[in-house]
Structure 1
Amino acid sequence: MSLKNQVQLITYPDSLGGDLKALKEVLYSRFAELFKGGVHILPPFPSSGDRGFAPLTYLEIDQRFGTWEDIREIGEQFDVLVDLMVNHISQKSEYFQDFLKSGRSSQYSDLFLTLDKLWEDGQPVQEDIDKMFLRRPLPYSTFQIGDNDTQESVWTTFGKTDPSEQIDLDIRSEMTKQLLASFFRNFKKYNIKIVRLDAVGYVIKKLGTSCFFVEPDIYDFLDWIMELAESLDIELLPEVHSHHSIQYKLAEHGYWIYDFILPYRILEAITNQSSTALCDYLQTRPAKQFTMLDCHDGIPVKPDLDGLLDTKEAKKLVDTCIERGSNLSLILSEEHKGEDGFDVHQIRCTYYSVLDRDDDAYLAARAIQFFAPGIPQVYYVGLLAGENDYERAKATGDGREINRHNYTLEEIDQSLQKPVVQRLLKLIRFRNSYAAFDGKFEVKVSSTEEVRLRWDYNDQYCELLVDLNTKRTTIQYIDDTNSVIEYTV
């Protein structure tokens, strides 16, 4: 399939009305013409934690949200995107639970990376571990097997507990490939059109390397899974948070990538009233990207923008974000902090709040996002110009929940009446329908206090002008009667 160059929605299965049936009703009745690009439903599968990102299986839907039939029905009108945590699966999955019961005699034992698959005698070598990009103190966890004294250590890249809740899959195993193929076939059965490969950068474990985005091995795996997806008419979106050069390598190999740099660059331009860094970036970035301002985590900073930031200026911007109510996710490992100690991983907030709830500034940010080449995604809280949910963050103890408010149907309808939301909906309709967005993109010469972006296609064009001082945003375009129209966003 080919992806639609139109706006997509990102939402949890229970965040717009309470479950998948409510989500379908909201999409059909309120947003039927808005999200022609599709809808990214964050993990609706049975999960043991991390708000869905520790799935037990991809063959079932969590009963609290609904059924696969609900997903299939949404997929009749919208291209549905779901996540596949391709690197690992939950400790609570039937596969690993059977391994805990039977150890090496488990029918599923070959799914997992016991240490003898890496070290000949199964004994870890610290010299090898020292070279690895670690997400926890040790890259493996030790488990008690059955009722006897047997223990097994298996690879666990992620996890805040010891032993970890997330168990890595051995992607070299034929059994793992068969399991992944069964997940993809099930996705196809229920109208899934796009699969985001979460944590794909960690799938290759190879001694003597960082075990992160190991080249060229990573491309062998991606080529295999791409062939599988294409055979089922499913598009892939690899998700890699790392130095931007890795994203560019993926783009060079023809894969869709995420623009994790754009949200910060737009925030920086609007807050500091300077377009220089943003316009420089827009002239050099790959075009085959999914764009975003906000998501279920936060605005990316490190490592995505490593090598691109003046950390003194970044600290000032981060301080402004904190003044406006944001909280921060920090880099934990010392070796990945900046030399000056700058350690901000993500800025957690709603994008509307971080722009000080300024309607014009927020619409300017969305307009720049929509004019940047790529498929724009709008997070559900951003769609409704939601503000920081401090109570939810405090109640859950998770700073990310500041931007994860669950809306009732009544709250959705109230939010839709807000002028800033009505203006955003109009902008989305323009982005979806104007033909020039399939043409040629240009960053126009402008003052440092302006952003000028243009699209041309045959006899049509549209040109965006953002005045960073006044936050006034206008779009000039040619309509169907060949008249020049100026539209104030």
Structure 2
Amino acid sequence: MAVKNQVQLITYPDSMGGDLKTLHEVLVKHFSKTFQGGIHILPPFPSSGDRGFAPLTYLEIDPAFGSWEDIRAIGEEFDVLVDLMVNHISRQSKYFQDFLEKGRSSEYADLFITLDKIWADGEPVEEDISKMFLRRPLPYSTYKIKETGEEEKVWTTFGKTDPSEQIDLDIHSDQVKQLFTQFFENFSKHNVKIVRLDAVGYIIKKLGTSCFFVEPEIYDFLDWIMELASSHGIELLPEVHAHYSIQYKLAEHGFWIYDFILPYTLLDTFINKSNEKLYRYLKNRPAKQFTMLDCHDGIPVKPDMDGLIDPPEARKLVDVCLERGSNLSLILSEEHKSEDGFDVHQIRCSYYSVLNNDDDAYLAARAVQFFVPGVPQVYYVGLLAGENDVEAVKKSGEGREINRHNFTVDEIEESLQKDVVQRLLKLIRFRNEYEAFQGEFSIEESPENEIRLSWKKENTWCGLFIDLNTNKTLIRYIDDKGMEKESVV
């Protein structure tokens, strides 16, 4: 199965109408010709936290969202992409609950990383931990075993609670491999065509390293899981937030990668009215990428942009974003901050709001995304030109809720009346249908305050022209009669 070179939608199972059945109805009614590249459904599985990213199992769909039949039905009309958190599983899963009950005598004990698998005596060493790229103050949590009363320290990369809700899996364990095999069989049975490997960068734990994207061991695992996915006709998309050179290594190994550089680069382009960084970036990036501007987390900054940004300049750009209502997530490890202390991990906002609710700037940014080589993904809030949901942040205390508004069917239909949304839908249709996008990409020379990109295939050609001073965007193209046409975006 090949990934289609057309636009995809990213959505939660309940963020467009409340459940999967309604999502399907909304897709068929309003977007049947829009998302021909597929639908990325963020985790619809039973989960104990992190809005689906602490799954109990992949063999069931959370009944609040619907059933596997709903996924299968969506998959009849759209290629479905789902996540597999290869790094961890929920503390509430039957596997870890059994471990909490019986400890080492649990049949599932080998799924998890008890600290004696890392340090021979099971005692953590601060010097080793100081080298690690941490996502919480310590990379493990302590749990009490019910039957024995003993305490067990278990590896937990992620989690806001102590002890964590997200328990790391030991990918060297045959039991884990059997579990993944079972999950892929189930995905295949229910029409899933693409699987995103979430948090795959953290799967190898090796002393003396950052425990992040440890080479060459990570490739052994990726090769194994690629073979497993291919045997079920499923494509893989590894998700790695890291220095861009790591993404490029994945690309060299033949994997799809995420373009986590484009969102910040375009923000810089439109705020500073200069094509310089964008052009420099576009000249040497791999083509086999999924492109995005917005997602359920935020606009990546560190470590993704390390080496591509100047921290003092980045601070100024971040300040503009904060003035426009954004909030930030920060790097925890001192070692991974910039020398001057710059520590922004992600800028959290709606992309429409961070471009100052400016229809023209927003559509110009989308036009660049669609012209850059790769498979474009549009997040549901971005699709509907949603604004920062500041109330949701206040209510929940979770900064990421700023860009996670759940739309009712009425709100979707209301958003579809907006001029900016209709213009975006027209742009998506052009990107899906125009033949030149299957051809050859070029960056045209232009003054610094303009963007000119083009595609050519046989007798078809289309060019993008953006004036960064006004954000006005034009697409010129050859129509099926061989005439040159011009369309204002």
> Fold match, TM over 0.5?
yes
Write the deviation string for residues 203-227 of structure 1: whole angstroms up to 9, x where unpaired: 1112222211111100000000000
Query: Aligned equivalents of 1:437 and 1:363: distance in 2?
Result: 18
Aligned equivalents of 1:365 and 1:268: distance in 2? 11
- 1:377 equivalent to 2:377? Answer yes
The residue type paired with residue 320 of structure 2 is T
How far does residue 403 in structure 1 lie from its aligned partner after superposition?
A: 0.8
1:111 aligns with 111
Tell me which amino acid in the other structure corresponds to 1:105.
S
Whole-angstrom CA distance in 2 between matches of 1:80 and 1:51:
19
Tell me which residue corresponds to 1:333. 333
1:327 and 1:142 mapped to 2: Cα distance?
31
Q: 1:90-132 CA distances to partner (integer Å, 9 max, x unpaired)? A: 1110000000111111111110111222222222333332332
Aligned partners of 1:225 and 1:148: how far apart in 2? 36
Tell me the CA shift for residue 158 of structure 1.
1.3
Aligned counterpart, 1:64: 64
> How do 1:295-306 and structure 2 match up within 5 A?
295-306=295-306
Over residues 121-165 of structure 1, what are the superposed CA-to-partner deviations in whole Å (9 max), with x where a residue is unaligned?
222333332332222222222211114322222111112222211
Asked if 1 retains the 8 angstrom alpha-carbon contact of 2:364 and 2:466, the reply is yes
Displacement after TM superposition at 1:459 (Å)? 1.4
Give the TM-score of the pair, scaled to structure 2.
Answer: 0.99
Question: SS of 1:194's equivalent?
Answer: strand
Corresponding residue of 2:412: 412
Alignment of 1:319-468 (within 5 A): 319-468=319-468
User: Deviation of residue 48 (structure 1)?
Assistant: 0.5
CA distance, structure 1, for counterparts of residue 404 and residue 137 of structure 2 = 29
CA-to-partner distance for each residue in 1:212-253, whole Å, 9 max, x for gaps? 111110000000000000000000000000111111110111
**Matched positions, count:** 489
2:94 matched to 1:129?
Answer: no
Map of 2:149 onto structure 1: 149
For the pair 1:191 / 2:191, whether they are aligned, the reply is: yes
Question: Residue 264 of structure 1 aligns with which residue?
Answer: 264
Amino acid at match of 1:279: Y
For the residue of structure 1 that corresponds to 2:456, the secondary structure is: strand
Root-mean-square deviation (CA, aligned residues, Å) is: 0.9
Letter of the structure 2 residue corresponding to residue 69 of structure 1: E
SS of the equivalent of 1:346 reads strand
Letter in 1 for 2:250: L
Asked if structure 1 preserves the Cα contact closer than 8 Å seen for 2:460 and 2:478, the reply is yes
In the alignment, is residue 75 of structure 1 matched against residue 78 of structure 2? no
How far has the Cα of 1:175 moved from its partner?
A: 0.5
What TM-score does the superposition give when structure 1 sets the normalisation length? 0.99
For residues 131 and 351 of structure 1, what CA distance do their matches in structure 2 show? Answer: 34
1:8-34: per-residue Cα shift (whole Å, max 9, x none)? 000000010110000000001110000
CA offsets, 1:170-211, max 9 Å, x none? 100100000011011110111000000011011111222221
- Matches of 2:145 and 2:378, distance apart in 1: 45
Paired letter, 1:317? L
What residue identity is the alignment partner of 1:238? P
Structure 1 equivalent of residue 290 of structure 2: 290
C-alpha distance in 2, partners of 1:107/1:245? 40
Structure 1: runs of 5 or more not aligned: none
Instruction: Output the CA distance in 2 between the equivalents of 1:163 and 1:304.
Output: 28
Residues 117-266 of structure 1 mapped to structure 2, 5 A cutoff: 117-266=117-266
Alpha-carbon contact 2:137-2:332 (below 8 Å) kept: no
Structure 2 Cα separation of the partners of residues 381 and 127 of structure 1 = 43
Q: Percent identity?
A: 73
Distance in 2 separating the partners of 1:140 and 1:386: 38
Amino acid at match of 2:68: W
Distance 2:445 2:130 in 1: 48
Paired position in structure 2 for 1:307: 307
Secondary structure class of the residue paired with 2:237: strand
Q: Which AA in structure 2 matches 1:464? A: L
Measure, in 2, the Cα distance between the counterparts of 1:463 and 1:393: 40
